[in-house]
Structure 1
Amino acid sequence: MNFLRRSLIMIMVTGALSLGTTLIANAQMSYGVKVAAGAACQSDLLRIADNCDAVFSPTFGLVGKYQFTDGFALKSGLEYQLKGRSYTEENIDMSEKLQYLSLPVKAEFSAGEKAGLKKGQRVYFAVGPYLSYLLDAELEIDDVYSDLGNDTKNFDAGLGFELGMEFPVFNQKALQIGLNYDMGFVEVYKSAPDLHNKMASISLGFLF
């Protein structure tokens, strides 16, 4: 199983790096880094949240964006994400923390000066699927951790949304500030039906 996990991680990393290398060779490509902080929970399919409290959810990773036209781009990357839920059972506080390696692919629609913004500024909306591989899953009770790997599914998949602003910095570089929401479509646990990952966050991206 460990060999399978390592192999799948290497495939995802290799695929992302190959995509990045191909796109970087084109003049319409920009690439950079992304960090985000937010809250994650788990709930029924297509519901924002129910029956659990949120846990702190950081994200960081690499981003690549290919600009097809002035108002349309395709962007992807490779991101580390922490998701999960927090709840109380028999007056005991519990937190389940799941670490994922995620590969999102989003179509980005944007508008700049034609929308009344200053030169170089853009407002954008991005949407697209993501595929995530589970790196680790733990249950925390009173600072004591136990492994959840046998009860969690190895993959998650869903749809990601992003709304934000892009600002020019340092000549050809750009700063993106966005509001993000991920909705999972795959059940997280083998023994608990109809629990899906949800995450909302604020992100900061720097594109070269």
Structure 2
Amino acid sequence: MGRAKGKFHRSVWVMLLALGSACAQPQAPAQSAAAVSAGDANELLNQLQQASQTALTNLSHLRVEKWKTDSNSKRQAQSDVESIQRNLQSAMPEILNQLRAQPDGLTQTVRVYRNVDALYDVFSSVTEAAGAFGSKDDFQSLQDDLGAIERARRTVADRMEKLAGAKEAELAQIKTALQQAQAAPAGPPKKVIVDDNEPPKKASSKKKAKPAKPASTGTSSGAAAASPQ
């Protein structure tokens, strides 16, 4: 199981890394991220919510203190059970609300996957301990819950693959449009008219001479009066 799980994880992250590069060659039309999310977001949310509620109910019925094992193993199992319960009651609803608010977000989908993957690991440990030390009914109920979580994890992984493909197609379309815009012929250059002719000189206007003022009559009368009779 560990080897198969490792291959599954590697395939998921390789798929995510493919998002970082846009293909230079033309690609076939792909669904947009919004179109991918419209159909399966609600289905995924309902699947995870149902699995969470059922798991919480079954975990509440466990009596780890009655398991046929040593006290250290019981404490470890009880700690794992409480960790799962906190996740399902607090962390999981918050992450699902983020995905509900932005169903086409790849980041939100990756967060859901990481949480479900971590939840699966701890739940698997508790299920194995229940099979070894607990009752048959406890083991069977937890085994069913573990299967539901595993199916949800695969659903999230498939969703990540679809979203990554849609995002990659969008990046390729943007790159193609940019290349076409850069290759388009530029418009004709603007004509610049240079006028190097000297402007005509303005004719200089000569000032007219002012006429001389006539002699004052008062001075002539005074001179005549001064001459002897």
* TM-score calculated relative to the size of structure 2: 0.23
User: Which is richer in helix?
Assistant: 2
**Higher Rg of the two aligned structures:** 2
* TM-score calculated relative to the size of structure 1: 0.24
Greater relative CO (CA pairs within 8 A, separation 6+): 2
